[in-house]
Amino acid sequence: MKGGGENDLNFTMDPAPAPNPPQLAARKSVYATDDRTEFPFESKTGLILARKPSVHMALENLGISSMPPAPPSPMRSKSRMGAMMMEGLRDAGAGLSPPRAMDGDADLLQLFGDEEDQSEEGKPGEKFYVVKDMKEVDYLGESTLGDMSVRRELFDPCDNEGVAAGLGGPIEEIAKHEAREAESLLDKLKVPPRWPEGKASRGIFCSRTLSLRSITTIGYDMDYTLVHYNVKAWEGRAYDYGIAQLKSMGYPVDGLKFDPDLVMRGLIMDKEKGNLVKADRFGYVKRAMHGTKMISNRAISEMYGRELVDLRNERRWEFLNTLFSISEAGLYMQMVERLDEGAVPPECGLLDYESLFEVVSKALFKAHVEGRLKDEIISKPEHFVELDPELPLALLDQKEAGKKLLLITNSDYHYTNKMMQFAFDQFLPDGMSWRELFDMVIVSAKKPDFFTLSHPLYEVVTADGLMRPAFKAKPGGLYCGGSALMVEMALGVHGDETLYVGDHIYTDVSLSKLHLRWRTALIIRELEKEVKALAYGREHRAKLIELMNQKEIVGDVFNQLRLALQRRTVGRAAQTPAANSMDGEVLAEYMQKLLVLMGRLDQKIAPMLEADGQFFNPRWGYLSRAGLWDKSHLTRQIEKYADIYTSRVSNFLRYTPFMYFRSQSQLPHVFLDERT
């Protein structure tokens, strides 16, 4: 499968081999990485090899036999740049990285120009230039800002003729041929695929078309985005601190243990009834749990048959937006059980389910926000943080591509600095720190208000976090508080040229899109498990669908016989003469047989339908689905607010900072298990 909207898929369920951190950290140039070579320029139709008519000639110079040969060029490039490119390709083909520092770098700069002061048409003598006009759009309505273009008049006429000759004929056939050759070239150059070893679970999926080339600024959240925590360790300790807080208040918590599989992201707490529910995209409740026990379908129908989940009613409904919600929701459901049992002493006051939620929420908020837990994490980050050596390199690619990078987090400066040092610095090139990646850092941002309101702005001026008031933000600054509008003014950006990446649907993704029109990317770490679960459950689902199709066929026949009997009973003619003349006893016998058959099918289908999604979560099924075909409420939120979504930020490394993501009619990963 090709990310961002193409269909072929080969699942590889084995874990990807761990990258070699020293090799990754040794990377000092955008043109060379360990075991891969990135070409300095690309276009929408593929790689542009300097002054060569087709990818076929590049393969020839590598000594690689290609697909059906393209027409030979009548001219060979005699330019120094062309010779350098071919020399670099030969080195890459032999498993070597092309030279990083040589006279040819000046030629590369002459080709691309200096982006700092380059005009729309480029400097005189430049052969390639980057489009700077934000007003132009392509045929999909996306800005062409950041696209690379060529000034053909500066190439030798003979070379242009060679290019034209190499691309002669019907474009459909040429495109197929050149695409195959381009893929072959990347394979020979050992450029990693978009997913490690073809793993779809590491894909970036697109719900609204997005061109990274037109994005000038990329903002990142930190917790569970740039720094991923071990959920069992982090949320388990938060749960422990919450338990301790409740116990100090006199609540019965003895014997309670953290169960990370009891709840999952995307569920909704019904604080009025003490339930946890999973709703479909329309708000109908499909699964529910009271306390720690699942509720039957019949009870769900009686309880929620006449009402829909409405997240605008915040007093009643609480959506689990992030992994930080796991400990809170799990502890609340356990305490609902204790409340039902009458175990809560009178000294704790008269409690209903709604007031109990407030008590649990405050206890967990103290654990998350107050210093004890964060001090523990800072002292032993290796116990809580899951390192991703590729993640800093993905941001390095983006920065070297000219993107302005922002860090906007609700965490305080001291915690942010320690976490980023641990997660980033050891994987960056020698001597580089995480701060050098970002054009601006905002700590204690107070999201979601950061996107809609303006708070006082302070500049962090010392390593130990000393601050002073600031009247406006400046590029390169480290600040506390402020607002998104201040950031836009300081960097000279606005609206949809900014992409914001975070893990919280409401705090990070929803408000930044609704109020600022920023483009958005949602990080869902569980997506890796879900995509694999979809693959593992493919055979089960195929059998289930086959049985349901058989029941539909049988049901259609039964309904026709029932209609014939109905019409004949009131003296009307049946649908056809044959149905009208059918013997009454034969008709009744057929109907009885079909009813028994459908009953047996139901007995087989019901438990299979209940088990659909068990490879992801035995209680709640898949994140993305609510029932056999329908999307979950979480999926609807993703469709509505996230332009792209993926499991981790390092997945950007496989796509380049110039990727053009194209949307599809459905969320791509949801139907991966049904594709051939």
H or E element in which residue 323 lies: none
Q: Cβ-count burial of 87 within 10 angstroms (0-12 exposed, 13-18 middle, 19+ buried)?
A: middle
Residue type, 556: D
Q: Which of 561, 583, 580 is nearest to 571 (CA)?
A: 580
pLDDT of amino acid 198: 63
pLDDT of amino acid 149: 79
pLDDT by residue (tens digit) across 504-535? 999 999 999 999 999 999 999 999 999 999 98
| Domains in the chain: ranges and CATH | 205-227+388-524 (3.40.50.1000), 231-380 (no CATH), 540-622 (no CATH)
pLDDT by residue (tens digit) across 51-61? 333 434 433 44
Q: Which of 381, 320, 283, 391 is nearest to 646 (CA)?
A: 391
Region 553-574: mean pLDDT is: 93
Are 200 and 659 in contact by the 8 Å Cβ rule? The answer is no
How many other CB atoms are there within 10 angstroms of residue 552's CB atom?
10
pLDDT of amino acid 145: 84
Give the ranges where 94-151 is alpha helix by DSSP (H).
104-112
pLDDT of amino acid 176: 85
pLDDT of amino acid 509: 92
pLDDT band at 288 (very low <50, low <70, confident <90, very high): very high
Q: Cβ-count burial of 480 within 10 angstroms (0-12 exposed, 13-18 middle, 19+ buried)?
A: buried
Question: What residues form DSSP beta bridges with 457?
Answer: 481
CA-to-CA distance for 654 and 390, rounded, in angstroms? 10
pLDDT by residue (tens digit) across 360-386? 999 988 766 666 788 899 999 999 999
Are 129 and 122 in contact by the 8 Å Cβ rule? The answer is yes
DSSP label at 442? Answer: E
Cis ω for the linkage preceding 448 (within 30 of 0) = yes
- The first and second tokens of residue 606, run together, are 């019901």
- The first and second tokens of residue 341, run together, are 């049992």
Q: Cβ-count burial of 506 within 10 angstroms (0-12 exposed, 13-18 middle, 19+ buried)?
A: middle
Residue 676: partners with Cβ closer than 8 Å, 6 or more residues away:
none
Region 63-74: mean pLDDT is: 38
DSSP 249-279: TT---TT----TTS--TT-EEETTTTEEEEE
pLDDT band at 33 (very low <50, low <70, confident <90, very high): very low
How many other CB atoms are there within 10 angstroms of residue 630's CB atom?
14
Are 655 and 6 in contact by the 8 Å Cβ rule? The answer is no
- The first and second tokens of residue 614, run together, are 């068990």
Chain centre distance of CA 510: 14
pLDDT of amino acid 459: 96
Q: Which of 156, 222, 163 is nearest to 442 (CA)?
A: 222
pLDDT by residue (tens digit) across 445-483? 999 999 999 999 999 999 888 999 999 999 999 999 999
If DSSP states are collapsed to H, E and C, what string results for 164-226? Answer: HHHCCCCHHHHHHHHHHHHHHHHHHCCCCCCCHHHCHHHCEEECCCEEHHHCCEEEECCECCC
Cα dist from 190 to 82, 200, 428, whole Å: 22, 19, 22
pLDDT by residue (tens digit) across 413-449? 999 999 999 999 999 998 899 999 999 999 999 999 9
pLDDT of amino acid 72: 38
CA-to-CA distance for 219 and 403, rounded, in angstroms? 10
pLDDT band at 154 (very low <50, low <70, confident <90, very high): low
Are 333 and 271 in contact by the 8 Å Cβ rule? The answer is no
> ∠ at Cα 257 (255, 259), nearest 5°?
150
DSSP 476-543: T-EEEE--HHHHHHHHT--GGGEEEEES-IIIIIIHHHHHH--EEEEE-TTHHHHHHHHHHTHHHHHH
Looking at the chain, the whole-number percentage of residues with pLDDT higher than 70 is: 75
CA-to-CA distance for 265 and 203, rounded, in angstroms? 20
pLDDT of amino acid 553: 94
Are 484 and 450 in contact by the 8 Å Cβ rule? The answer is yes
Are 67 and 184 in contact by the 8 Å Cβ rule? The answer is yes
Q: Cβ-count burial of 589 within 10 angstroms (0-12 exposed, 13-18 middle, 19+ buried)?
A: exposed
N-to-C CA span, the chain: 10
Has residue 121 got a pLDDT over 60?
Answer: no
Has residue 648 got a pLDDT over 90?
Answer: yes
Phi/psi at 184 (5° precision): -65, -40
Highest mean pLDDT among 73-82, 92-101, 520-529: 520-529
pLDDT of amino acid 197: 57
pLDDT by residue (tens digit) across 378-412? 999 999 999 999 999 999 999 999 999 999 999 99
- The first and second tokens of residue 415, run together, are 């915690």
CA-to-CA distance for 151 and 131, rounded, in angstroms? 12
pLDDT of amino acid 651: 94
Residue 371: partners with Cβ closer than 8 Å, 6 or more residues away:
none
CA-to-CA distance for 31 and 464, rounded, in angstroms? 37
pLDDT of amino acid 161: 59
H or E element in which residue 386 lies: strand 385-386
Question: What residues form DSSP beta bridges with 32?
Answer: 29, 37
Are 25 and 429 in contact by the 8 Å Cβ rule? The answer is yes
Residue 614: partners with Cβ closer than 8 Å, 6 or more residues away:
537, 621
pLDDT of amino acid 127: 73
pLDDT of amino acid 628: 80
Has residue 158 got a pLDDT over 80?
Answer: no
Question: What residues form DSSP beta bridges with 441?
Answer: 407, 478
Q: What is the largest CA-CA distance in the chain?
A: 97
Residue predicted with more confidence, 120 or 159: 159
What's the whole-number average pLDDT of the chain? 80
Has residue 229 got a pLDDT over 60?
Answer: yes
Among positive and negative, which fits the CA dihedral 600, 604, 607, 612? negative
